[in-house]
Amino acid sequence: MTQTDPPIRPDAPILVFDSGVGGLTVLDALRRILPQAPVIYAADNAGLPYGEKSEAEIAARVAGLLGRMTERFQPRLACIACNTASTIALGMVRDVLNIPIVGTVPAIKPAAAMTRTGVIGLIGTGATIRQGYVDRLEAEFAADKTLLRLAAPGLVAAAEAKLRGEAVDPAIVAQTLSSMRAMEGGERIDTLVLACTHFPLLADELSGAFGPQVSLIDGADGIARRIASLTQGQPFGRTRPDTALFTRAEAGLSALKPALAARGLDRVEVL
Ligand code: DGL
C-alpha cells in the first residue's frame, strides 16, 4: 500500500482462505481479537486435499483462486490459512496481489522455545512436511533440537467429518500417535506442532491420545495478531453477512452450516 491508495472501505472484508474447514481455526482466533472485521471465508473444497497434490498444482490453484477472489471481493487483506498453500505459494501470491498477504507457517520457533526434552513432533500434510520452507525454519530455530516430521493426511478428513457433525474415528488419531512414537526419539516428544490448520479442530482427540505431558502448539493466535496489527487503525463496518465461499457445490455443505454459523458465517455461497 502507498499513500496514494484510496482509503480502506469499512466493509472491505478480510479474506481467509484454506482448502477446507481448517482455516476456521485461524478465523476463531481472529474473531477473538477482531470481532468487528467483515470476513469472507473461502474454502477450495474442489481442490481438497491439497496435501496430496503436487507443488505446481497447489501453486497454480492458490494463485488463480486468490487472484479471482481478490478481484471480485476487493478484500483489504488476505490470509492463507493453510500451511500447505503457504509453504508452497506464499511468495508467489505476494508477488502478484497488491494487498497484504498473511501466511501460515509451522510453529517451529515457539515449539523450540517450549520443548524441555529437545524433541519436537510435527504433523502436517505430506506436501507441507517435505517443503524447503520447513527445512529453513528447522535450521533457523531448531538446529539444536530434534524435529520429527510426520504426514498425517487422515486427520484432515477426520477434521472435515467432525465439523459436519460426524464422529471422529479414534483409530486415525491412535495411528498418528503410534507412528510418531515409533520414529527414532519419538518417545521423548514433549511438544507437538500442529502444522496443518485442520488439526486444532482435533485438539481434544490429539491431546487425549498424546497425554498431558505433550503440549500442542499451532500458529493461529500469532496469525490473528499479525492481521490485527496490519489492519490497525482501519475502519470496520459490515454491510452484509459474513460469507463462507466454496469452490464446489456438494452434499456435505449443508451439514457444515451449523459449524459455519457458530463462527458468524451466516451466508454460504459457491464461487
Ligand atoms: N488445512 C491445510 C493445511 O494447513 C491442509 C489440508 C489439505 O490437505 O488440503 O495444510
pLDDT tens-digit readout, 174-227? 999 999 999 999 999 999 999 999 999 999 999 999 999 999 999 999 999 999
CA of 51 to the centre of ligand 1 (A): 6
- Note the pLDDT tens digit of each residue in 235-266: 999 999 999 999 999 988 999 999 999 999 99
Q: Using a 6 Å cutoff on CB, does residue 53 contact ligand 1?
A: no
Catalytic residue among 48, 78, 80, 82: 82
Give the strands of the sheet with 191-194, arranged side by side.
146-151, 119-124, 191-194, 215-217
Q: Is the CB of 18 under 6 A from ligand 1?
A: yes
Contact yes or no for 14/79 (Cβ under 8 A): yes
Q: How far apart are CA 6 and CA 170, in angstroms?
A: 52
47 Cα nearest atom in ligand 1: 9
**Confidence band for 72, pLDDT divided at 50, 70 and 90:** very high
Helix 170-182 to helix 203-210 angle (10° resolution) is: 50
With a pLDDT cut of 70, the percent of the chain lying above it is 99
pLDDT of residue 6: 79
Phi, psi of 115 (to 5 degrees): -65, 140
Give yes or no for residue 79 CB within 6 A of ligand 1. no
List of residues 6+ apart from 106 with CB closer than 8 A: 83, 87, 122, 124, 128, 134, 137, 193, 195, 219
Residue 242, all three cell numbers: 459474513
**Residue 85 Cα distances to 6, 219, 249, angstroms:** 29, 15, 22
CB atoms within 10 A of CB 136: 13
Contact (CB, 8 A) for 62 and 85: yes
- Closest atom, ligand 1, to C-alpha of 18: 1
CB within 8 Å of 247: residues ≥ 6 apart: 42, 43, 44, 45, 46, 47, 65, 270, 271
Pocket test for ligand 1, best of 128, 150, 196 (most atoms within 8 A of CB): 196
Is 84 touching ligand 1 by the criterion CB < 6 Å? Answer: yes
Q: Is 45 in the pocket of ligand 1 (CB under 6 A)?
A: no
Nearest Cα to Cα of residue 256 among 15, 16, 23, 9? 23
> 198-225 as b/e, with b when 16 or more CB fall inside 10 Å?
bbbbbeebbeebbeeebbbbbbbbbbbe
Task: Please count the other Cβ atoms lying within 10 Å of the Cβ belonging to residue 126.
Answer: 16
Q: How far apart, in whole angstroms, are the C-alpha atoms of residue 179 and residue 58?
A: 27
Confidence of residue 18 (pLDDT cuts 50, 70, 90): very high
Q: How far is the CA of 130 from the centre of ligand 1 (A)?
A: 14
Q: What is the DSSP letter of 18?
A: E
Q: Which domains does the chain have, with CATH numbers?
A: 14-104+221-270 (3.40.50.1860), 108-218 (3.40.50.1860)
pLDDT over 80 (residue 270): yes
Residue 49 near ligand 1, beta carbon < 6 Å: yes
β-strands 77-80, 101-102 pairing? parallel
Determine the number of helices (DSSP H) and then strands (DSSP E) in the chain. Answer: 11, 10
User: Residue 5: which pLDDT band, with cuts at 50, 70 and 90?
Assistant: confident
| 79 given a catalytic annotation | no
Q: What is the CA(82)–ligand 1 centre distance, in A?
A: 5
Catalytic residue, chosen from 196, 202, 216, 220, is 196
In this predicted model, what pLDDT tens digit does every residue of 117-141 receive, in sequence order? 999 999 999 999 999 999 999 999 9
Arithmetic mean of pLDDT, 3-17: 89
pTM of the predicted model, to two decimals?
A: 0.95
Is 82 in the active site?
yes
Cβ-proximal residues to 187 (8 Å cutoff; 6+ apart), any chain: 181
- 16 C-beta closer than 6 A to ligand 1: no
pLDDT for the residue numbered 2: 52
- Ligand 1: centre distance to CA 50 (Å): 6
Q: What is the mean pLDDT of the chain?
A: 96
